[in-house]
């Protein structure tokens, strides 16, 4: 992510435009040494709602990615499915998410 990208993310957070898949909140808050300011930002962000049929679609997405011979960690699948369901681009440094783009995941 470039400096401009980081600025864009910060601006989205300030404007209230940033949303998080619920699983991201769990991952972010599970780090034992999380700074209080970080925790405050994470819990202040809106959550992407889970839509009807989410769990089934997530299972099918994972099966598809695994059958193609790629890694599909459960948390990654749940994050990807949340973003796919709402047509929300995912901002990530994790290259494993590229395996979900053929299912409709947009990476920022």
Top CATH class of 3-103 equals alpha beta
Under 8 Å between Cβ of 106 and 90 = yes
Q: Where are the alpha helices (DSSP H) in 16-97?
A: 22-29, 36-44, 54-67, 74-86
pLDDT in tens, 61-102: 999 999 999 999 999 999 999 999 999 999 888 999 999 999
* Tokens, residue 53: 């049929």
Residue 1 has pLDDT above 80, yes or no: no
At 45-63, the pLDDT tens digits run 999 999 999 999 999 999 9
- Where do the structural domains in the chain lie, given as residue ranges? 3-103
């Amino acid at each position: 992510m470039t400096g401009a990208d980081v600025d864009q993310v910060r601006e989205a957070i300030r404007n209230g435009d940033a949303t998080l898949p619920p699983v991201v909140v769990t991952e972010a808050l599970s780090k034992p040494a999380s700074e209080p300011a970080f925790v405050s930002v994470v819990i202040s962000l809106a959550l992407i709602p889970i839509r009807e049929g989410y769990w089934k679609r997530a299972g099918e997405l994972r099966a598809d990615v695994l059958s193609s011979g790629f890694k599909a960690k459960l948390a990654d699948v749940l994050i990807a499915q949340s973003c796919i369901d709402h047509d929300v681009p995912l901002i990530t440094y994790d290259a494993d998410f590229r395996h979900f783009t053929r299912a409709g995941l947009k990476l920022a």
